[in-house]
Amino acid sequence: MRRDIFQAIADPTRRGIIALIALQAMTPNAIAENFNSTRQAVSKHLRILTECELVKQEYRGREIYYALEIEKMKEIDKWLDQYRKIWESRFNQLDQVLSTLKKQKK
């Protein structure tokens, strides 16, 4: 089953995992310590994040570390940017309306 990055970030636990590994690569056990869920549940979330290419696995000896895949996060930012521009435009319009109303009151 092909998943996309938006399905991956829809889950709050997966967003929490992303926030954790954004700072440094971590093992599944280290990640699981930060959540009130089983190691198996965290592994499932990591598998989904890996399938969506939001995280990558790094092997260090016998340990697997998960790290954030920054390039894939840029896809999310690019998608959000189109809406950010709309919101900023609307806020600017609102500022102009409020400024006009304020001048009319004086």
List of long-range contacts for 20-24, beta carbons under 8 Å, 24+ apart: 21/55, 21/66, 21/67, 21/68, 22/68, 24/67
pTM, 2 dp: 0.75
Beta bridge partners of 59: 64
Q: Where are the domains of the chain?
A: 5-105
User: pLDDT class for 1, splitting at 50, 70, 90?
Assistant: low
Q: What is the CATH number of domain 5-105?
A: 1.10.10.10
pLDDT, tens digit, for every residue of 36-83?
Answer: 989 999 999 999 999 999 999 999 999 999 999 988 888 888 888 888
